[in-house]
Structure 1
Amino acid sequence: DPSTHLNSSHYSLTSLTPTQLENILTKDFTPSSSITILVGGAPISPGLEEKLSTTGLRFIETYGMTETASHIALREVGKDSLFKAQDGVVLSVIEDCLSVSIPELGLNVLTHDIVEFTNHRFKLLGRSDDVINSGGVKIHPVLIEPLIAVSLASAGINRAFYLSKKPNTVFGEITVLVIEGEAIQDSSYLLELLKRDIPAYMHPKELVFVDQIQFTETGKVIRKSIS
């Protein structure tokens, strides 16, 4: 149990995934205030970030990839909204995707991560293969899902979900909200609620209910397109 070890004063630095942190925060979590916790393996959700910001501890979200063998950019949770590259790492954007270069290692990697790039810092918007192109408008699920979470919570729905896409003859693709659990008998009110709370071209046009949403070992949602 990671929480048992973290409550010891012997540790000043550790690394956890968002899923591990979600589980730890439900327990008696009282680590030393001097500890720094690196968070990686999956993005930190807005809900988790809010929880972490109230602990009084220092959390550093990391960005890395298999090719670099470690993280190449960092941001401090609750203080920085953008990732900053570490020394020796050169970042750029090619067709909206993040390009990473480490000249000293002769390494150049073009990722599938779409970013918002400002003064050599970046914000993750999602994966290029997750983008929903609806009527010529590119919709990034990671930006819409926090709004959906608020709408679902207001309706008393606390379930796992993700925004997916479905082919459409008129728009090319439409947004579909995949929700874990039993189908809601009269879900039309939920679609109306989402339509009210989310911009017209982004709100889910259909709902799909599944028995279980699958996650990777690090807590990333395994997104599946709807046929």
Structure 2
Amino acid sequence: MDLLRGRLRAALDGGPALAVPTSGSTGEPKSVLLPGSALLASAAATHARLGGPGTWLLALPTTHIAGIQVLVRSLVAGTTPAELAGPFRGKSFTEAAADVLAADGPRYTALVPTQLTRVLEWGGDALAALRSFDAVLIGGAALAPPVLAAAREAGVRVVRTYGMTETAGGCVYDGLPLDGVSVEITAAGLVRLGGPTVAHGYAGSAPFGGWFTTSDLGELVDGRLQVLGRADDLINTGGEKVAPAAVEAVLLAQPGVRAVCVVGVPDPEWGQRVAALVVGALSQDALAAVRAALGAAAVPRRVVTVDALPEKAPGKVDRAAAAALAG
């Protein structure tokens, strides 16, 4: 940790760019070169959106950009972050949060959706601690609407973030870009992000030039970004294009479904069929809801119940492993 802090301090002071690996959730990890200017711009824009510099709880690994950004924001704020010791458990979270909540000024933390779901399930002291934070950033993966609704009903100040290593972490909060960040939708429907938080580029590759085109499909509705899922996750079944994220959203709204991953599996007749890995129970009514909302092609033809979805990085589902399990 001390070595990483030293490297961060050097980058923020104009030294060599920090090399941060991508999660590799959709392929081989790449090394992203993040100059100090991008890290500083992200931290400043985050503090401006949330209500000023504050004290942070580090509950994510510092091998990924979300955890690194907690350290960057703390360095910029001149505060010392509390660090969650050991696995993410109710007791360890409550104890680590107590150190932050005792500090003066704003108190923040950043979690992935899985962690938020666990705290809601634990309730008690852990949930009481979480609702005491001035903002809880949730990123790394899509946040299911029922979980968001439950968190807000419980009094948790959730802020949904969208971004990636290539943009120095989250750069769109609750659908609205941070100060200085630009969002465009390409002719192919892909989300394109620009501004001072964009990385220099990948190690050994050409610079990004201030803009990064993601692999995510999206649209702008009344100025807010809505991410529709990854373009390379689209399932082609009998000539019909099915967006897994849309199917997942319908299924997650059904009783008994705690988590779900929808993937395409090979089919000799249709090319691909829709399959679903489900944590919980999937009823015929849930499948009927998919048919009513998205059409017959989107209904999962194969359902596999699992105890937990496979993950490749914190909060990121390993879709390749999910497809292997479903197939």
The reply to whether TM is greater than 0.5 is yes
CA contact (8 A) 1:92 1:120 kept: no
| Paired AA for residue 211 in structure 2 | N
Give CA-to-partner distance per residue, 1:164-198, whole Å, 9 cap, x none: 112334433221123469xx9xx9xx5x5454222
| Paired AA for residue 86 in structure 1 | L
Partner residue in 1 for 2:170: 71
Q: Quick one: structure 1 residues 112 and 4, their matched pair in 2 at CA, closer, same or farther if it must change by over 3 Å?
A: same
Q: How does 1:98-137 map to 2 (within 5 A)?
A: 98-102=191-195, 106-137=209-240
Partner residue in 1 for 2:245: 142
CA contact (8 A) 1:3 1:24 kept: no
Whether 1:221 and 2:302 are equivalent positions in the alignment is no
**CA RMSD of superposed structures (Å):** 2.9
| Paired AA for residue 129 in structure 1 | D
Q: Which runs of 5+ in 1 are unaligned?
A: 76-82
CA distance in 1, matches of 2:246, 2:161: 19
Whether 1:20 and 2:115 are equivalent positions in the alignment is yes
| Paired AA for residue 117 in structure 2 | E
CA contact (8 A) 1:112 1:127 kept: yes
Paired residue secondary structure (1:72): strand
CA distance in 2, matches of 1:150, 1:104: 34
Deviates more, 1:209-218 or 1:109-118: 209-218
Give CA-to-partner distance per residue, 1:5-61, whole Å, 9 cap, x none: 335342622222222222222142213646211112222122321221112232111
CA distance in 2, matches of 1:211, 1:60: 28
CA contact (8 A) 2:181 2:194 kept: yes
CA contact (8 A) 2:218 2:226 kept: yes
Whether 1:89 and 2:188 are equivalent positions in the alignment is no
Q: Quick one: structure 1 residues 209 and 17, their matched pair in 2 at CA, closer, same or farther if it must change by over 3 Å?
A: closer
Partner residue in 2 for 1:36: 135
Q: Which runs of 5+ in 2 are unaligned?
A: 1-91, 199-208
Whether 1:177 and 2:276 are equivalent positions in the alignment is yes
Partner residue in 1 for 2:52: none
CA distance in 2, matches of 1:213, 1:166: 16
Q: TM-score, normalised by structure 1?
A: 0.77
| Paired AA for residue 220 in structure 2 | F
Partner residue in 1 for 2:299: 203
Partner residue in 2 for 1:80: none
Deviation of 1:202 (Å): 1.0
Q: Quick one: structure 1 residues 36 and 159, their matched pair in 2 at CA, closer, same or farther if it must change by over 3 Å?
A: closer
Deviation of 1:100 (Å): 1.0
Deviation of 1:114 (Å): 0.9
Higher strand share: 1
Deviation of 1:4 (Å): 2.6
Give CA-to-partner distance per residue, 1:109-146, whole Å, 9 cap, x none: 11011112224421111111211122333211122123
CA distance in 2, matches of 1:202, 1:172: 14
CA distance in 1, matches of 2:180, 2:213: 17
CA contact (8 A) 2:251 2:260 kept: no
Q: Percent identity?
A: 28
